[in-house]
Amino acid sequence: MFTLYMRSGSGSAAVEAVLAECGAAVELVDVPRKGQGFENYLTINPRGEVPSLRLPDNSLMTESAAMVIYLADLYPQARLAPTLDSPLRAAYLRWMLYFATAVYMADLRYFYPARHSVDSSAETGIKAKAEIDLNRDFDIFAKALGQGSYILGDVFSAADIYAAMLISWAPDIETVFARHSNIKKHYELVAARPKITPVWKSNSMLFS
C-alpha cells in the first residue's frame, strides 16, 4: 500500500493519476495548508510541499517527477514508460524533466512570486516574467507535439499525464488552447482516459 500526501489541484494530481493507471493500492492523505496538521507534515517533508509518497516499505519519496518515473517503471504492465533500451526513453525523460524543472518552477514563480525575492517590490516583475516563460515553454511543447497525439508521437506515457497537469495550471488555459489546438487535443485525450477522468475531476482539472 502506498500513502500519497496530497492536496487537490496540486502536484500530487499526476502521481494520483499514475497510481490509478497502475492499479496500485493507495491511501490519500490530505495535507492542510496551516495549523497543527501542517506542522506535523513538516516532519515528513521539511519543505512543506506536496506531494510526498510513502512506499510500501515505509520509505518516503519527495519530488513529483521522481515519483511518476519510479511508479511507471515499477508497473511495466501499465505501459506508461518506454523501457530503458527503447529509442523513446531519452525523449520520455527529457519531457518529464522539462515539465518538472522549466514549467513547474515557472508556475511556482507565477503563483508564489513573494517566495522568489526578499524584496516585495520585485513581485510584479517576477510574476510577469514567469508568465512570459510559461508561454514560451508552452510554445516549445506545442512545436514538439506537432500533429502527434502524445509527447512520444503515437505512444502514450506518464510524461503526458505530467504535462497535462502542468498545462492545467496555465494562468490562462483558454488562451493556451486557442493558440495551440494540439495542446487542447492532447489535454482532452489525457483527461478522457477512464482511470484519469475521476482523478482530474477530484482535482478540479476538467475544463469545458
Ligand X SMILES: N[C@@H](CCC(=O)N[C@@H](CS)C(=O)NCC(=O)O)C(=O)O
Interaction site with ligand X (CB under 6 A): 10-11, 48-51, 62-65, 100, 104, 108
What is the rounded CA–CA span in Å between residue 17 and residue 130? 27
Contact 16, 6 (CB under 8 A): yes
Give least dist CB 50 to ligand X, A. 4
Select 44 or 189, whichever has its Cβ closest to ligand X.
44
Select 34 or 87, whichever has its Cβ closest to ligand X.
34
Select 31 or 91, whichever has its Cβ closest to ligand X.
31
Give least dist CB 146 to ligand X, A. 27
Select 105 or 189, whichever has its Cβ closest to ligand X.
105
Give least dist CB 100 to ligand X, A. 6
Determine phi and psi for 180, rounding to 5 degrees. Answer: -130, 90
What is the rounded CA–CA span in Å between residue 68 and residue 108? 19
Give least dist CB 26 to ligand X, A. 16
